[in-house]
Amino acid sequence: MGENREKIAELYYRSGSIRFGAFRLSVHIDNPDLPLSPYYLHYPDSGEDGSELLPELYSLVGQEFYDICESQSTPIRPTRIAGVPKGAMPLADAHARLYENYPKNLLVFTKKQDKNKTEFLGPYGEFVEGEELVIDEDHTSGGRNKKLIRAVALSGGLVVSNMLTVVDRQQGGVENMAKEGVRLLSIFTMDEILRIGAATGFVPHQQLDEALEYRALNQF
């Protein structure tokens, strides 16, 4: 494992961006009978414990996103970058900063959400119809929000064929986006980051086993 990925995983645990318990996630909107998730991935809000580690985490993720793009057999060199609001917006900003056309390359979407509906608005910023947009995300389950935000981007005249996520929860997101003609690339799979946590003492082995079993049994 590269040094950058190792540090990102460490910061996830030190910042409390991975929590354990019983959690309702966005996938429960479309799957209300789904068992509660034994883990929750979410960056701490400003002022909460661990939030002081987020600037370093965002910077490292932005660099890793850039490296993933450059490492493809045909490098991904997007003219525009956006983050799924709100959690991934700092990640997209850190990623976009690594290109010469920053900040013009950074587009913004907003999100309206009630109990049973999610709506994305935008994109806001400078772009030309037909330009390639890469959408950055923090965590992916079944790809529900990615489908919604991509539809809005396409309606605005952008092309979206690649997306990036920090953690692929391995619950169908990669496969579901492939059906939409989108390649979803991740820094970690859920299994990887959980096993790293167990190996470094952040995750008790019983918790690891429960999390791996939940992931395997719940696909979308």
pLDDT in tens, 73-106: 999 999 999 999 999 999 999 999 999 999 999 9
Q: Residue 107's pLDDT is what?
A: 98
Overall size of the chain counted in residues? 220
Of 115 and 89, the structure prediction assigns the larger pLDDT to 89
pLDDT in tens, 171-200: 889 999 999 999 999 999 999 999 999 999
How far apart are the C-alpha atoms of 172 and 166, rounded to whole Å? 15
How far apart are the C-alpha atoms of 179 and 170, rounded to whole Å? 15
User: What percent of the chain has pLDDT above 90?
Assistant: 80
Domain architecture of the chain: domains with CATH: 3-217 (3.40.50.2020)
Q: Residue 122's pLDDT is what?
A: 96
**In the predicted model, is pLDDT for residue 220 greater than 70?**
no
User: DSSP letter at 106?
Assistant: B
| DSSP assignment of 163-190 | EEEEEE-SSSHHHHHHHTT-EEEEEEEH
